[in-house]
Amino acid sequence: MSFSLWLSLLVACIVISLTPGAGAINTMSNSLTEGWRRSIWGILGQQIALVIYIIVVAAGVGLVISRFPLVFDLVRYVGAAYLVFLGIRLILAKTDADAPEEEASFTPRGESRWSMLRRGFWVNILNPKAVIFFLAFMPQFVRLDEPQLPQYLTVAITMVTIDVIVMWGVFAGAAGSFRRLTRTSKGRRTINCVFGALFIAVAAMLLFLH
């Protein structure tokens, strides 16, 4: 891959990563509830899913999936249902709303790293449109007359690196400005409802926007 082509890939990856979606919502939610440092586990889960999608497309499986509407729709409905589940779970999450305000100081939930990583993985992997996106995106940066493996490795390393930087440095970092809201039970309830509604909104877009 030439340097100029890689620069184009780099710019494209930055723009893609900065586009808000379920991954960004999940990252900001983790940063608020678990802290900026621990939010990296959810981000890593999202990257595992991203790498799997790159492998799927590189192996030609993505093209097969895109040509079978039933498989595509099945994954789409499961993905939307999972996002709705996450949204409802956040909205209904118990807070110390009945405790005196001075006792309702913020304390992290203490969610396990594995749980955060697993949720991040499912948030990204249950998005069939990612396959279609990669089918349209990756061929622009992979030349058929050159060895395939080095090119796909370059694409994967660049995409994962940029996505981690953007997710952790931008979205997780931006969530810190709302940290003061977590100091009260009312604030935590508001944050849960907002992020829960966002998950459900993304699910609706996944279902109804084609």
Give pLDDT, residue 51: 93
Rounded Cα gap, residues 43 and 27, in angstroms: 7
Whether 10 maps to a domain, the answer reads no
Q: Is residue 13 part of a domain?
A: no
Asked if the model's pLDDT at residue 18 lies above 80, the reply is yes
Residue 105 has a pLDDT of 43
* 96 sits in which H/E element: none
Greater confidence (169 vs 67) lies with 169
Between CA 54 and CA 104 the distance in angstroms is 44
The residue whose two tokens read 């099945």 is 74
Mean pLDDT value across residues 108-128: 85
Question: Does any domain span residue 7?
Answer: no
What is the per-residue pLDDT across 79-105, written as a single tens digit (0 to 9) for each?
A: 788 888 888 987 887 765 444 444 444
Let me know if residue 12 belongs to a domain. Answer: no
Mean pLDDT of 50-54: 90
Tell whether 99 is covered by a domain.
Answer: yes
Per-residue confidence (pLDDT) for residue 62, from 0 to 100: 65
In a domain, 14, yes or no: no
C-alpha count within 13 angstroms, C-beta hemisphere, residue 67: 6
Residue 169 domain-assigned (yes or no): yes
Number of domains in the chain: 1
Which structural domain range is residue 84 located in? 22-208
Residue 6, in any domain of the structure: no
What does pLDDT average to over the chain?
81
Tell me what pLDDT residue 64 has: 67
